[in-house]
Structure 1
Amino acid sequence: MDYIEAMKELASEVLDLLGEGLWIPEKQVFSRQIKDVQSDSVLRFNHYAAVKQQGPFSKGCQEDRIGFGEHSDPQILTILRSNDVGGLEICLNDDGLWIPVPPDPTQFYLIIGDALRVLTIGRFVSARHRVLANTCGDSRMSIMYFGAPPLDATISPLPQFVSSQKPRLYRPFTWGEYKKAAYSSRLGDCRLDLFKPGI
């Protein structure tokens, strides 16, 4: 419980800094979502067992090493920590180029979630990422804190971000609606597409 509370505090501090950096008068506008007693935040542990090294003449491919498939996190913010085994990769563009993230067990990694992307009309982008299993015999271990709002919280852009030049990208929805869509679709699907205006 102490670790969860520490992660909640860290996530809240980061979100308050984001609010301050965006010149939002009430800088706690993001953090109060995960500080709410009804917050749907969760802590998860992942273990990615190593896979056998493919031989030089093997027809095995990188897809055989997928430990956790391509996706974006639906929550507001993810705080990730892992052991010293690599495997995390991010895709920054739609070009399909995957960039490995060097492991560092002394650091925390922050991943923007879809909910924060909606709240800021894309000022912060939820990066697509995946995890590949290691081939050198060591397993990857990671622990993630997913900072999420209450199920009945409405996810909609902050009014100060909406303008005729920057209209809403998605219709308002509750976190419960989005969570249901996220877990009833395929992992790699862009679930935000389900909430575009007119759909």
Structure 2
Amino acid sequence: MMACQEWPEPVIRVQALAESGLTTVPECFIKPRSQRPINTTLVPNQAKSCPQINININNNDNINIPVIDMKHVYCDDKRLREETLERVSEACREWGFFQVVNHGVEHELMREAREVWRGFFHQPIQVKEKYANSPLTYEGYGSRLGVKKGAILDWSDYFFLHYLPSSLRDQAKWPALPTSLRNVIAEYGEEIVKLGGRILEIMSINLGLREDFLLNAFGGESDLGACLRVNFYPKCPQPDLTLGLSSHSDPGGMTILLPDENVSGLQVRRGEDWITVKPVPNAFIINIGDQIQVLSNAVYKSIEHRVIVNSDKDRVSLAFFYNPRSDLLIQPAKELVTEDKPALYSPMTFDEYRLFIRTKGPSGKAQVESLTSKCDSN
């Protein structure tokens, strides 16, 4: 199945809609009732900024995804190191999400990365349209995921770019304005790749595998894939009717997210509840993708998440996707396959796998669950 060359309908720029002063959400953005942001655990100050949302406020400030201090991973204190590794392991097994602090990336670089992209999204529309994307590669300035005609759309715009392998990196396709953007993002990408390698090493050790197992399964340092999607969530007049990003698990290996520290929006599924993540200052949010679920034979699971929008404030986040090389077969590690727990997934390349979300858009956990059924039928 080939990727589509064009979008099935005229592209709607959500930021332009928001800035037009409209007071109601167009019908094509209104989610079915079962998908609207209700039965939500929010921190109290966010509830005040989203008065239209029908929510269950939980005043327990301890409800958050785990926070891991990475300085303890490399310290001389063996007990602290082992405790930290265990906390990462527990977060991967129980949550699929965690935040990291003292991760080695300069805080000023993190701030600059957010600000240059905020600067891009506030350029005149004619500047942004020069980078308009297509579903063939998704690279560039976009406003929808999936090519299903008549789909209910998400309340967001984005910019998608390739970072690795270097053969796919074309800075001419990256925004020229603000003038510092290309240099900042090149440096930012380099640092995030290093961070991703350290986290994959920790995950490999915790799974009882060689410390370079996951990195090598992704293709090694020279061949792994990496890309960046910068999300812009404009303020929304009716945030109770729509979502910034529909529920999904990430199709790739691992996501390293730089959140907007001023506006919460990311929600993680926890049983039947949606937990709103409270970003810790100068932290990255890490989440397991479908490919690590497959490689770990479901010891680690990718978790559904979504993004709610705000009636008063725009929000910017940078999602760096750390992925396997596109043509490598991904399958459960043989060390994690036993008689008691046979391989749950059939081999599939990442290229074959991600075509699902590029065609259908965000679809909960439907994609990775379909692999289990295929394996059962073999």
TM-score by length of 1: 0.87
Contact 1:154–1:174 under 8 Å retained in 2? yes
Pick from 68, 71, 85: which aligns with 2:263?
Answer: 85
Alpha-carbon separation, structure 1, partners of 2:280 and 2:219 = 26
Flag the structure with higher helix content: 2
**1:51 Cα deviation after fit:** 1.2
Q: State the percentage of identical aligned residues.
A: 28
* Matched residue type, 2:207: L
* Partner in structure 2 of residue 57 of structure 1: none
Query: Could you say which residue in structure 2 is the equivalent of 1:146?
Result: 321
What amino acid sits opposite 1:85 in the alignment?
A: V
Pair 1:113–1:19, CA change in 2 (3 A): same
2:222 counterpart of 1:37: yes
Give secondary structure in 1 for the equivalent of 2:212. helix
Deviation track 1:87-108 (CA, whole Å, cap 9, x = no partner) reads 1101022x2x111111345110
Q: Does the alignment pair 1:182 with 2:366?
A: no
Partner of 1:3: 188
Deviation at 1:39, TM superposition (A): 2.7
Between Structure 1 and Structure 2, the one with more strand by share is 1
Structure 1 gaps of 5+ residues are: 55-60
1:119 corresponds in structure 2 to 295
State which of 14, 22, 30 in structure 1 corresponds to 2:199: 14
Counterpart position of 1:191: 367
2:264 & 2:219 partners in 1: Cα distance? 29
**Could you tell me which of 276, 279, 290 is aligned with 1:103?**
279
1:48 aligns with 233
SS state of the match for residue 27, structure 1?
coil
Distance 2:346 2:253 in 1: 17
Relative to structure 1, the CA distance from residue 195 to residue 8 in structure 2 (aligned partners, 3 Å threshold; closer, same or farther) is same
Moved more, 69-78 or 164-173: 164-173
| Aligned twin of 1:71 | 248
- 3-state SS of the aligned residue for 2:325? coil
Segments of 4+ in structure 1 off by > 4 A? none
Aligned length: 187
**SS in structure 2 opposite 1:187?**
coil
User: Could you report, residue by residue, the CA deviation over 1:62-101 in whole angstroms, capped at 9, with x for unpaired residues?
Assistant: 3x230110000011100001122111101022x2x11111
Q: Which amino acid letter does the alignment assign opposite residue 158 of structure 1?
A: A
Contact 2:267 2:275 in 1 (8 A): yes
Runs of 5+ in structure 2 lacking a partner?
A: 1-185
Distance between the aligned counterparts of 2:369 and 2:279, measured in 1? 32
Q: Rg larger in 1 or in 2?
A: 2
Structure 1 distance, partners of 2:360, 2:320, is 22
* Cα distance in 2 for residues equivalent to 1:37 and 1:159: 24
Query: Shift of residue 193 of structure 1?
Result: 2.8
C-alpha RMSD of matched pairs (Å): 1.7
User: Contact 1:79–1:146 (CA<8 Å) still a contact in 2?
Assistant: yes
Q: In the aligned structure 2, how far is the partner of 1:10 from the partner of 1:35?
A: 14
Q: Report if the CA contact (8 A) 1:81-1:105 is conserved.
A: no
Task: Give 3-state SS (helix, strand or coil) of 1:184's partner.
Answer: helix
Larger relative contact order (CA 8 Å, sep ≥ 6): 1
